[in-house]
Amino acid sequence: MEADNLKKLQETISIEFKNIDLLKQAVVHRSYLNEHSDFHLDHNERLEFLGDAVLELVVTEHLYGEFDNPEGELTNWRAALVNSKMLAEVGRQINLEESLYLSRGESKDKGSKARQYILANAVEALIGAIHLDRGYEIAGQFIHEFMIAKLPHILENKLYLDPKSRFQEESQARVNYTPTYRVHKESGPDHKKHFVIGVYLGDELVCEGEGTSKQEAQTDAAEKGLATKGWTS
């Protein structure tokens, strides 16, 4: 089954590995080795480190070559292309989750933020593995096909702005209101706080967001607010 998953993954990304162990290592999470200490490969964190650098360089070269915008704008666009949410989306697009080597506990934790980060890191590790196995050019082709191809959608929908900035911009343009945020609930000890924050347009409560900090809860509320109002595209 594992071999079948890796074969399907290679077919999906249209890259055939010379050294299949590099591909396999790219999808080994640290938690798997805690339960399988005799596994013949290391976890994927070193490949992730390499892939992160290759990804940033390929995206940076593309933006520098194609656009004459100020550095600050290009930096925001790059961040939108390489952040964990985008990488996790690519991971789901290529069905990478099916190939991950995870502990039993992590295997059950589908749909969580932790799983999103695991998936995003595995995509970076995959890029590192492609770079080592097939070279920079092939790694670049993968990045262009699955990441840079999303740039027009990002620019058209201003996804390079953080959710709070996007929600404020949309609110001011559409209903002439600047959103405000109010803490609805604060719980937990100092080292493990939990906040529930509402985002308002005037007196209207649009929705609530949650997080381990006020900033995180506000960002969550803004992101949900965009969806609630249908301002996501």
Burial code (b: 16+ CB inside 10 Å, e: under 16) for 184-212 equals eeeeeeeeeeebbbbbbbeeeebbbbebe
Rounded CA-CA distance 160/135 in Å is 29
Rounded CA-CA distance 81/100 in Å is 23
Rounded CA Rg of the chain: 20
Q: Which of 97, 106, 124, 223 is catalytic?
A: 124
Nearest residue to 13 (alpha-carbon basis) of 138, 154, 152, 148: 138
Q: Which of 48, 52, 106, 208 is catalytic?
A: 52
Q: What are the structure tokens assigned to 82, written together?
A: 């390489």
**Is residue 38 annotated as a catalytic residue, yes or no?**
no
Q: What Å distances lie between residue 23 and 77, 102, 194, CA to CA?
A: 29, 15, 39
**Is residue 4 annotated as a catalytic residue, yes or no?**
no
Phi and psi torsions of 125, nearest 5°: -65, -40
Q: Confirm if 165 and 225 have CB atoms less than 8 A apart.
A: no
Q: What are the structure tokens assigned to 177, written together?
A: 């209101």
**Which residues are known to be catalytic?**
52, 124
